[in-house]
Chains A and B, each alone.
Chain A
């Protein structure tokens, strides 16, 4: 009681005890709450501006170091990228000068089509250019179909023969060439490394260090082992039967004798640079009935379709052979 407070009521001229209704009390409580909250926020902000919590301090230190290191890394990476760019250029230059990767004119590659204007009678119409283009394309396709059908014929006859034929036909890479990086030069017109003229390259070149194993690419009999210091240098000819033979040239040493029977994958010799060769490499040829065929079509046991595509690309891009 002694602490009860009173309020002077000027109308009744009496002191009224201050009594609050529940609603008013709630309201007042709420007001206190809101007030304290606001004050708390003000305190909190002031506190936050001037004082950092230890955790915040740690985080800020972290950020500072992370930023510092990142700037450093960023600068380093910029330099590194520049230097790597230069190295790539060097690599390109080396590749170009060693492998003469300047493309041989398309006209030389696509022998046959072209020459005389065989489409003269198609000129002079409204859509002449389209018609001529189509006719040319048809011609090209016809040629391809002819080639294709020939290879289908081969396939059919192949399928009809027995297993030993499949074992005999060259079907693997003559050297270990996991990522195809050893492919140097393909079949076809290539720049001769010494003569510097475009000459027909009857096989495929693989660059590899002297002494690298060379494998027989199919079962067969060693037809000849020839030691020579001219042309193919030390070379081996394997007779696979069924019209197929393969040639492995510029060998350093032999691992077989003439007349010996070999199985696919047998090591027959080692890479060298004998004969007319400017660098250690294997020159690999496949002959079908005495005619040189493109070895790129005879790696079907080794290469996936993607690898095959890449092999073709690499082999066709390189302009220089090594013999």
Chain B
């Protein structure tokens, strides 16, 4: 799941260079949300975090 925010950030960058500013910002928000989900998913194992 940690790959998903990477993919979303590629789209955010792509939208930015193609002239879609608002779309880029919203994709960035989605990427951060999925990043938090990935942290939650990996927290007890690979990240050694107790939430």
Indicate, yes or no, whether A interacts with B: no
Chain A interfacial positions (CB closer than 8 Å to B)? none
